[in-house]
Structures are given as C-alpha cells and as structure tokens.
Amino acid sequence: MHDLQLLVDLHKGALRQGPGGDDETSRALSLAGIDRTQPLEIADIGCGTGASALVLARQLNAHITAVDFLQDFLDELTVRAERAGLADKITGVCASMESLPFEREQFDVIWSEGAIYNVGFTTGLKDWRPYLKPGGILVVSEITWTTDNRPLEIQQHWDSVYPEIATAAVKQEQLANSGYSMLGYFSLPQHCWLENYYDPMRAQFAELLSANDGSDAARAIVEAERHEIALYERYSDYFSYGVYIGRKTDAN
Ligand code: SAH
C-alpha cells in the first residue's frame, strides 16, 4: 500500500490531524472579536476531519467551506457534521490549498489550523489574502520557536523539515508585511499536542501495523511518527504551534 494511503488510514479516524483543541479554537474566536450572531462565510483550509470546522459551525452563525485535498478526510468530516446536526452549515471541498477554487473577497474569515506549513507561512499569507473581504479575519496556526535559543538537535530537525519555523516576533512581522494587522496571538499548550493529538495517534499504531501485516512501509510510518513524538517530548520547551489572529488591512 502507498505511504499516503497508510498515513490517511493512520489519521482519518482521529478527531484532529494536528495539535490543537476545541477550547483553543474558541479562544482564537474570542480574540478575533468575531460577532457570533452575524451571518459569516468562512473558509477552513486544510480542514482534515473537521476539528475546527465543527467548533466554528457550532458556535457561529456561519457557513463553513471546509477544504482539504484528501477526500477520505472530507468523508469523515461529512459523517461527523451529520452526526452533530451541523451538516447544513459545512460544505466540504476537495481542492489543493495551492490553487483554491474561490472568488476574490468571498470570505469574512479564513481559518487554518496546523496546515499552512504545506504551502509555507509567507506564501499562504500572501496567496490567501485576496479571498478575504476588506477587514476580513485570518486565524492561522503555525510552527513557532518559543525561545530565542535552543539545542542543536531540535534546531537541525526543524531546519531540515520546515526551515520557515521562526519566533512569534518574526511571524508577526511577516503578517504585518503581508497586509494584516495583528489582533492576537497565543501559543498552544502541551495538552493540545499530547492528549489531543499524539496520544490518540499512538493508540492507532498497533492496528495500522496489524492491518498491513507489519509491512516495511507501515513500520517506517510508525517509526517516523514515534520519532516526531519523542522530539516533542524532549524539546516541547522550545517550540509549539503559535495561533496568529490578524485582520486584513485596506492597503492592496
Ligand atoms: N486542520 C486540521 C488538519 C491539520 S493536518 C486539524 O487541525 O486537525 C493538515 C491538513 O492539511 C491535512 O488534513 C492534509 O490533508 C491537508 N493538506 C496538506 N496539504 C494540502 C494541500 N496542498 N491542499 C489541501 N490540503 C492539504
């Protein structure tokens, strides 16, 4: 079986495909100062199985266009939305975040948790901005250094997998330079990584291995995930996801 399908199988039964939490999604909503009664059009980019889309649909008077390039994740999202009685508020769209099928100024809010790194932070900020209405809100979580200095091992790891990692000060400057004014920032606490993401993932390892008869490909995926978890456990003092909340400024 192909690696991508193995990754999909490992992750599709989970409530989230990256670090985060319902309370943290709500916190970002509050910091954004979003009116919970006003009708809103929201895009959730890289939505996975719907962790944030479901919270937004539950708490807001909004229609959410939930985008992911993996149909299996969108299918799970549809089931979850139906079960929660929220299906009429969420539309899944299978598309790449690199070429979004949207109109200019279509959305009041663009939301993206644990996903913008797939295009890169600065590229995403720039490319997604036209889809926001004037004064629209961007909420995006992004891998961020939480200290000015760090051990070489973790520096080298991130330099190789995502060299755009930087401190919140640098990221906030990038937001400002990309046409957003900052409304708020916070860093995801540890439980968003461990209890909400890594623990449920870890619980799936045995099943993935047995479903694939311990194949080399399945073992390699489990090993890679274990390595990532070990790095987080060792170095969680030095990095996290930062949640950035900005407003589109008027300038073009
Ligand atoms: N926001 C979800 C999922 C985060 S994981 C959560 O917080 O749980 C990142 C998601 O981005 C995955 O669902 C993955 O399928 C999706 N993704 C990765 N590259 C993409 C691309 N180029 N276009 C669209 N979606 C992409």
Distance, CA of 218 to CA of 212 (rounded, Å)? 7
| Per-residue pLDDT at 252 | 58
Distance, CA of 60 to CA of 49 (rounded, Å)? 19
For residue 174, how far is its CA from the centre of ligand 1 (angstroms)? 22
For residue 96, how far is its CA from the centre of ligand 1 (angstroms)? 9
Report CA-CA distances (Å) from 218 to 73, 98, 213, 222, 230.
Answer: 19, 28, 9, 6, 18
For residue 141, how far is its CA from the centre of ligand 1 (angstroms)? 12
Three-class DSSP category at 158: helix
DSSP E strand boundaries for 13-158:
40-45, 62-68, 90-94, 107-112, 132-145
Gyration radius of the chain over CA positions: 18
For residue 98, how far is its CA from the centre of ligand 1 (angstroms)? 12
Contact 89, 62 (CB under 8 A): yes
Q: 11: Cβ below 6 Å to ligand 1?
A: no
Token couple for 139: 């909420």
| Per-residue pLDDT at 237 | 98
Give the global pTM.
0.97
- DSSP bridge partners of 182: 246
Q: 114: Cβ below 6 Å to ligand 1?
A: yes
Contact 70, 33 (CB under 8 A): no
Q: 17: Cβ below 6 Å to ligand 1?
A: yes
Q: 18: Cβ below 6 Å to ligand 1?
A: yes
| Per-residue pLDDT at 2 | 82
Q: 48: Cβ below 6 Å to ligand 1?
A: yes
Give, for ligand 1, the residue of 49, 97, 201 to mutate: max count of ligand atoms closer than 8 Å to Cβ. Answer: 97
Give, for ligand 1, the residue of 15, 16, 54, 68 to mutate: max count of ligand atoms closer than 8 Å to Cβ. Answer: 68
For residue 244, how far is its CA from the centre of ligand 1 (angstroms)? 17
| Residue 40 phi, psi (nearest 5) | -130, 150
Ligand 1 atom index nearest CA of 118: 19
Q: Which amino acid, 216? A: D
For residue 116, how far is its CA from the centre of ligand 1 (angstroms)? 8
User: Which regions in the chain score pLDDT beneath 70?
Assistant: 1, 251-252
| Per-residue pLDDT at 44 | 98
Token couple for 157: 């790891």
Token couple for 26: 């709500």
Q: 55: Cβ below 6 Å to ligand 1?
A: no
| Per-residue pLDDT at 1 | 67
Distance, CA of 131 to CA of 109 (rounded, Å)? 9
Token couple for 103: 């109109």
For residue 117, how far is its CA from the centre of ligand 1 (angstroms)? 9
Query: To which residue do tokens 């996290």 refer?
Result: 240
Q: Closest Cα to atom 3, ligand 1: which residue?
A: 48
| Per-residue pLDDT at 163 | 98
CB atoms within 10 A of CB 19: 23
For residue 115, how far is its CA from the centre of ligand 1 (angstroms)? 5
